[in-house]
């Protein structure tokens, strides 16, 4: 034991003595000991004194049996207390059982000691488990509808009922800590007793009420309790987890179509906070629905009567919502049928004010409707019921339509009162008669009283005469004289037509208000003329609209579209002979594909008569169609269909002393020369190239030649020298070079003088509609008007309807055929996208650069704005695209490593397999540095190859092409821009686009170097994409641009 002499103060000695006293009197009810280090033990205990418990903890240092740290829940928790001293005495008393002589811990003995503690606590706990008592619950139901849940709790010892308070001893019910001894009862009883004790703060002796807010909770609690009884008959009942669907009987009473609703059997209902419960056949069921007590009373003791007007709502609105809650029995008692037709009706009357009575007209298999009165706009009685011939005819009101009708009538100052609309404000009186009646008619049937008919307005149609003549001294301008008449021949003044153009349906004719039935068609006609008008002169009884001749076919066709949809609208044209001919030729040639109309006038040159394909002959005659009426045009045939030979055939068929000019990319100069020599070997052709002195000499001799060929870049520099010449035909090849209207090249070509101007391009729209305007500003400057109005209307406010309008305008001047339509023998082209995983080095570098450029670009945008930062954004995107190809494009140190690029490794796999299978392959990349890397990789595979980029000299370019076409060299490396046009390589049957370009049309041009006339094999196209990089975004952008191109150049809409 502790030596009290070690303690200095009396207080400390008292604490130690008291602790020893607690120990000797066995007041330590719980004790535990554990090792927390090699030299320390943790003691824990529960000490109960006068029904109050304390929980001390002490850490003992074994080296000297001293207290290291300690804690207690008593008031002296900061100081050493008697409770902690009691634990120390317990330790000192038992230490010999688990400590060695040197005070070290004996592991085996310590384990036995702890095992002994656990066993003691186990026996102590099990001693309380007796289960000698049990309880039963009795449900007491007093009424049909019980607002409270009443139970009685009976206690039993064995099978004998007992009194909880008198027949169970106090010491049995309570343990040493004054806690209720639930172990007296089976597990199934304990939760019920504890819950009641918690709710009522005692255990009820008599009947007790479960509060309404706890009814659902208590029923759920006892749902698995086996001893549930109904008090009235002492029979057992159980709680179901399934919802009960009480049977609801619906019966027709034959009392003028009334219907009764009630329950079929008596019920007892318990009202909970969230659920209502029904006791049926000794099973307590929950209900899905909660109804007020008054509703239950009527359904149980009486019935609910449905009026005729309520039956449809009950069947179509209420029944679907309660069908999961009730078993509804109504079969064979009520005959329902949907009305064959219904609509809103409006009875219009006039008593000094216009009044409109809205109703619903229901058709019941009869021609004459039945009119039903209802509260218009109300959300009540959505379903309307008509009882007729022992049937209920049903229709559902359209609340959205009623709201729309409210809005229409409100615009004309109608108010809704006494179930009708009244217009007391005369300000909108006339406008309602002019406009509102027509709007209301579109919402239902309108009936008029005799008084209302007296204020109604006369109806009429307008016929139109359009007399068109050429403007004197301006052969490209047309004057359209517009005259408008009523059907009785009365000529309408221009002011009235302007009202109709501003969407007014009613005009004044000799003091009488007249409703123009085809006012919308006349408004459309005026808008068509206004959209192309150079100017409009308004006279009292006519308009004179001036338009360019290039707009005539558009105006003529659009007006005829109006006539096709509106037979009551009559428009007559008076046309000069040239316009009559234009329509006749166009309809026969363009619409019906009849080339015979030209065969008598124009002959195909003998050199190509047997060479041209049928579609190329049509293209030849199409050029002559445009020439006859001094129009320019765009030959937009798919790439590889022979646009060159078609335009050359046209030029050679002309009997003109003037030369013709062809402007093309530099790389195509010799291609044009070769094509001319191939098809028309006796033609005098001049290719203008070389230094400035050479070019000056060439240009001075232009009139000695039939066809002049030069490049865009040289024309831009030499345009002043060309301005003295008047060419017969000017042809721009690959016109995407003038797609930007603000470039020097675009401005230069517009300074050229020629009788006929044409453009050859398979891609007149690559990025946006501005490119189309720029091309037409050369071909036909008046067709699409000035740039700013065009951009505002078609680009900045783009819509599908406006795109259709644009296509109608340009359709006579664009000819496009697809290979799939005209070259049936051409093998298919299969395009596949292959994804390559970035190499680990590539992936890490890509992420690092992505973070770096993102922070840099965003910082610059915040400082300078997006507009001034575009060049930096593009530079950042370029760097990411280069890494997606190969890290060596931004850091040459990566060129030395192995497998640095996932895409390059994928390409090598494709090449090995394809070359072994005997294929010839074109590989396109936009980066010449990347082509250099690919050269090295191909050489490592010991494959031969041809090579071409923008720096390749013309002679070398020819040699490389010839070498690929005429030898067994399997691979041709080509830069995308240098090789996307001017190359014919049908020997290749595999095309690989190594890196995606923003413009899909450039890629398609590259692909069609192989997929063209002369190809006999299926062309497989592999587009290589690095996964999870900027290249995936480029593919998405390509798809958007492709859709725009397809929309504009849709062949079916061009003709």
Q: At residue 155, does pLDDT exceed 60?
A: yes
Q: Does residue 957 have a pLDDT over 80? A: yes
Please report which confidence band the pLDDT of residue 776 belongs to, taking 50, 70 and 90 as the band edges. very high
* Residue 562 token pair: 């109006």
Query: In this predicted structure, which of 364-368, 417-421, 735-739 has the lowest mean pLDDT?
Result: 364-368
CA distance 305 to 701: 107
Whether 364 shows a pLDDT value over 50: the answer reads: yes
Report yes or no: 421 and 431 within 8 Å, Cβ to Cβ: no
pLDDT value at 370 more than 80: no
C-alpha–C-alpha distance, residues 44 and 34, integer Å: 9
Q: How confident is the model at residue 525 (pLDDT cuts 50, 70, 90)?
A: very high
- The pLDDT assigned to 1030 comes to 83
What would the pLDDT profile of 114-149 be if each residue is shown by its tens digit?
A: 888 888 877 765 554 444 688 888 888 877 677 778
Selected residue with higher pLDDT from 753 and 892: 753
The mean per-residue pLDDT over the stretch 445-454 comes to 84
- In this chain, the answer to whether the domains covering 458-575 and 605-821 adopt an identical fold is no
In CATH, which of 3.30.565.10, 3.40.50.150, 3.40.50.300, 3.40.640.10 is domain 829-838+895-1052? Answer: 3.40.50.300
Determine the average pLDDT of the residues in 922-946: 91
| Measured distance CA(272)–CA(464) in Å, rounded | 78
pTM beyond 0.75: the answer is: no
Tokens 């445009």 locate to 626
Which residue has better confidence, 273 or 306?
A: 273
pLDDT tens digits along 714-772: 999 999 999 999 999 999 998 888 988 989 999 999 999 999 999 998 888 877 889 89
- Does position 511 have pLDDT exceeding 70, yes or no? no
For residue 307, pLDDT over 70 is answered with no
Task: Write down the pLDDT at residue 124.
Answer: 66
Mean pLDDT to the nearest integer, 187-194: 84
Q: What is the mean pLDDT of residues 788-796?
A: 90
Coil, helix or strand at residue 864: helix
pLDDT for 575 equals 93
**List of residues 6+ apart from 821 with CB closer than 8 A:** 1051
Answer for the pair 645, 675: CB distance below 8 angstroms, yes or no: yes
Q: Where are the alpha helices (DSSP H) in 784-927?
A: 787-790, 800-810, 819-822, 840-864, 866-885, 902-916
What DSSP string describes 757-776?
A: EEEE-S-S-SS-THHHHHHH
Q: How would CATH label the architecture of 605-821?
A: 3-Layer(aba) Sandwich (3.40)
Summarize the confidence of residues 237-262 as an average pLDDT. Answer: 71
Look at 508 and 759; give whichever has higher pLDDT. 759
What pLDDT sits at residue 1028? 87
Q: What is the pLDDT of residue 249?
A: 73
The yes-or-no verdict on residue 939 having pLDDT over 70 is yes
Q: Are 1054 and 931 in contact (CB under 8 A)?
A: no
- Whether the pLDDT of residue 260 is over 70: the answer is no
Q: What CATH topology corresponds to 458-575?
A: Alpha-Beta Plaits (3.30.70)
pLDDT in tens, 552-573: 999 999 999 999 988 889 999 9
pLDDT tens across 49-107, in order? 876 778 889 999 988 878 888 888 887 766 788 999 999 999 999 999 999 888 888 98
> Residue 482 forms beta bridges with which residues?
466, 543
Distances from the Cα of 970 to the Cαs of 166, 566, 955, in angstroms? Answer: 108, 63, 21
User: Looking at residue 931, what is its pLDDT?
Assistant: 92
Q: Is the pLDDT of residue 680 over 80?
A: yes
- Of these ranges, 450-459, 643-652, 832-841, the one predicted with the greatest mean pLDDT is 643-652
Q: Is residue 57 within 8 Å of 42, Cβ to Cβ?
A: yes
Q: Is the pLDDT of residue 652 over 80?
A: yes
How far is Cα 798 from Cα 775, in angstroms, rounded to an integer? 19
- Of the chain, the percentage scoring pLDDT greater than 90 comes to 30
Distance CA 909, CA 1001 (A): 27
Q: Are 479 and 544 in contact, with CB atoms under 8 Å apart?
A: yes
CA dihedral 497, 503, 505, 506 (to 10 degrees): -60
Q: What is the mean pLDDT of residues 317-332?
A: 70
Statement: residue 1048 has pLDDT above 60: no
Residue 850, strand partner residues: none
What pLDDT was estimated at residue 14? 85
Q: What is the model's pLDDT at position 1051?
A: 37
For 572-590, what is the mean pLDDT?
89
Segment among 170-174, 653-657, 895-899 with least mean pLDDT: 170-174
Interatomic CA distance for residues 793 and 802, integer angstroms: 8
Contact criterion met (CB below 8 Å) for 573 and 557: no
* Domain spans of the chain, in order of start: 4-126, 133-239, 247-329, 336-453, 458-575, 605-821, 829-838+895-1052
65 with 41: CB under 8 angstroms?
A: no
pLDDT at residue 393 in the model = 76
Contact indicator for 1006, 981 with CB cutoff of 8 Å: no
Least confident of 176-180, 212-216, 910-914: 176-180
Q: What pLDDT score does 506 carry?
A: 78
The pLDDT, as a whole number, for residue 698 is 94
Give the residue, 398 or 327, on which the prediction is more confident: 398
Alpha-carbon gap, residue 349 to 343, rounded angstroms: 20
Show the tokens assigned to 413: 């100052």
Q: Which two tokens stand for residue 316?
A: 């179509």
Residue 657 has pLDDT above 50, yes or no: yes
């Amino acid at each position: 034991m502790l030596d009290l002499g070690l303690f200095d103060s009396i207080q400390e000695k008292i604490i130690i003595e008291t602790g020893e006293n607690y120990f000797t009197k066995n007041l330590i009810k719980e004790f535990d000991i554990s090792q927390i280090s090699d030299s320390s033990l943790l003691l824990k205990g529960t000490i109960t004194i006068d029904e109050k418990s304390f929980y001390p903890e002490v850490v003992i240092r074994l080296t000297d049996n001293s207290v290291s740290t300690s804690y207690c829940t008593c008031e002296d928790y900061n100081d050493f207390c008697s409770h902690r001293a009691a634990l120390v005495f317990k330790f000192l008393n038992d230490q010999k059982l688990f400590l060695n002589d040197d005070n070290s811990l004996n592991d085996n003995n310590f384990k036995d000691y702890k095992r002994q503690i656990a066993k003691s606590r186990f026996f102590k706990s099990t001693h309380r488990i007796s289960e000698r008592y049990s309880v039963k619950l009795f449900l007491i139901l007093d009424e049909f509808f019980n607002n409270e849940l009443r139970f009685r709790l009976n206690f039993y010892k064995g099978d004998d009922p007992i009194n909880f308070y008198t027949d169970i001893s106090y010491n049995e019910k309570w343990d040493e800590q004054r806690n209720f001894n639930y172990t007296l009862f089976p597990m199934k009883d304990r939760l019920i007793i504890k819950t009641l004790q918690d709710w009522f703060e005692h255990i009820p002796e008599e009947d007790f009420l479960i509060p309404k807010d706890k009814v659902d909770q208590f029923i759920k609690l006892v749902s698995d309790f086996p001893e549930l009884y109904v008090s009235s008959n002492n029979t057992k009942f159980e709680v179901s987890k399934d919802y009960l669907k009480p049977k609801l009987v619906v019966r027709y009473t034959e009392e003028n179509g009334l219907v009764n609703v009630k329950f079929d059997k008596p019920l007892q209902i318990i009202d909970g906070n969230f659920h209502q419960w029904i006791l049926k056949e000794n099973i307590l069921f929950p209900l899905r629905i909660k109804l007020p007590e008054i509703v239950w009373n009527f359904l149980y003791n009486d019935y609910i009567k449905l009026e005729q007007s309520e039956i449809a709502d009950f069947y179509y609105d209420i029944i679907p919502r309660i069908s999961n809650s009730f078993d509804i029995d109504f079969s064979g008692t009520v005959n329902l049928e949907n009305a064959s037709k219904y609509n809103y009706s409006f009875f219009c009357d006039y008593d000094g004010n216009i009044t409109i009575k809205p109703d619903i007209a229901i058709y019941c298999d009869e021609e004459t409707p039945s009119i039903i009165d209802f509260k218009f706009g109300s959300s009540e009685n959505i379903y309307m019921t008509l009882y007729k011939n022992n049937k209920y005819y049903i229709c559902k009101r359209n609340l959205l339509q009623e709201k729309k009708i409210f809005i229409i009538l409100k615009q004309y100052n109608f108010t809704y009162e006494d179930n009708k609309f009244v217009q007391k404000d005369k300000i909108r009186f006339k406008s309602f008669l002019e406009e509102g009646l027509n709007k209301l008619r579109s919402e239902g049937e309108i009936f008029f009283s005799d008084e209302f008919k007296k204020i109604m307005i006369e109806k009429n149609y307008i016929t139109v005469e359009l007399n068109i003549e050429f403007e004197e001294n301006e052969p490209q301008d047309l004057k359209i004289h517009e005259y408008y008449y009523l059907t009785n021949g009365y000529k309408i003044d221009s002011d009235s037509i302007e009202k109709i153009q501003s969407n007014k349906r009613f005009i004044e004719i000799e003091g009488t208000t007249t409703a123009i039935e085809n006012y919308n068609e006349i408004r459309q006609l005026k808008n068509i003329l206004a959209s192309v008008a150079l100017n409009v002169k308004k006279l009292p009884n006519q308009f004179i609209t001036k338009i360019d001749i290039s707009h005539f076919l558009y105006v003529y066709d659009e007006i005829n579209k109006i006539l096709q949809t509106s037979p009551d609208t009559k428009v007559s044209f008076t046309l000069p002979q040239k316009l009559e001919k234009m329509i006749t030729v166009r309809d026969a040639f363009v619409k019906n594909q009849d080339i015979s109309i030209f065969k008598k006038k124009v002959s195909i040159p003998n050199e190509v008569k047997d060479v041209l394909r049928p579609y190329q002959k049509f293209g030849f005659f199409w050029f002559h169609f445009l020439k006859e009426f001094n129009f320019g045009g765009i030959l937009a045939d798919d790439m590889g269909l022979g646009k060159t030979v078609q335009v050359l055939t046209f030029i050679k068929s002309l009997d003109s002393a003037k030369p013709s000019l062809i402007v093309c990319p530099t790389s195509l100069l010799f291609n044009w020369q070769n094509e001319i020599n191939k098809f028309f070997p006796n033609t005098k052709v001049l290719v203008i190239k070389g230094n400035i002195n050479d070019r000056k000499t060439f240009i001075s001799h232009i009139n000695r030649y039939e066809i002049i060929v030069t490049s865009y870049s040289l024309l831009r520099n030499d345009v002043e020298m060309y301005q003295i010449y008047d060419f017969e035909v000017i042809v721009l090849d690959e016109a995407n070079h003038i797609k930007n209207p603000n470039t020097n090249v675009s401005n230069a070509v517009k300074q050229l003088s020629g009788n006929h101007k044409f453009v050859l391009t398979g891609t007149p729209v690559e990025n946006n509609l501005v490119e189309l305007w720029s091309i037409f500003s050369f071909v036909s400057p008046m067709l699409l008007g000035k740039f700013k109005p065009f951009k505002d209307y078609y680009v900045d406010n783009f819509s599908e309807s406006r795109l259709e309008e644009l296509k109608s305008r340009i359709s006579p001047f664009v000819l496009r055929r697809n290979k799939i339509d005209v070259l049936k023998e051409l093998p298919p082209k299969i395009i596949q996208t292959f994804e390559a995983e970035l190499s680990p080095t590539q992936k890490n570098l890509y992420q690092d650069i992505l973070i770096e450029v993102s922070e840099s670009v965003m910082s610059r945008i915040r400082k300078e704005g997006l507009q001034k930062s575009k060049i930096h954004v593009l530079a950042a995107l370029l760097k990411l695209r280069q890494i997606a190809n190969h890290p060596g494009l931004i850091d040459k140190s990566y060129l030395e490593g192995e497998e640095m690029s996932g895409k390059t490794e994928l390409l090598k796999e494709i090449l090995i397999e394809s070359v072994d299978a005997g294929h010839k392959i074109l590989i396109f990349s936009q980066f010449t540095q990347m082509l250099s890397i690919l050269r090295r990789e191909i050489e490592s595979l010991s494959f031969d190859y041809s090579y071409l980029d923008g720096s390749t000299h013309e002679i070398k370019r020819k040699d490389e092409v010839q070498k690929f076409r005429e030898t067994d060299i399997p691979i041709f490396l080509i830069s995308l821009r240098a090789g996307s046009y001017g190359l014919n390589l049908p020997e290749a049957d595999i095309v690989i686009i190594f890196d995606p370009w923003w413009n899909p049309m450039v890629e398609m041009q590259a692909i069609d170097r192989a997929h063209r006339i002369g190809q006999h094999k299926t062309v497989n196209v592999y587009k290589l994409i690095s996964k999870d990089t900027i290249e995936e975004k480029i593919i998405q952008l390509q798809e958007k641009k492709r859709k725009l191109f397809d929309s504009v150049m849709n062949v079916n809409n061009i003709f």
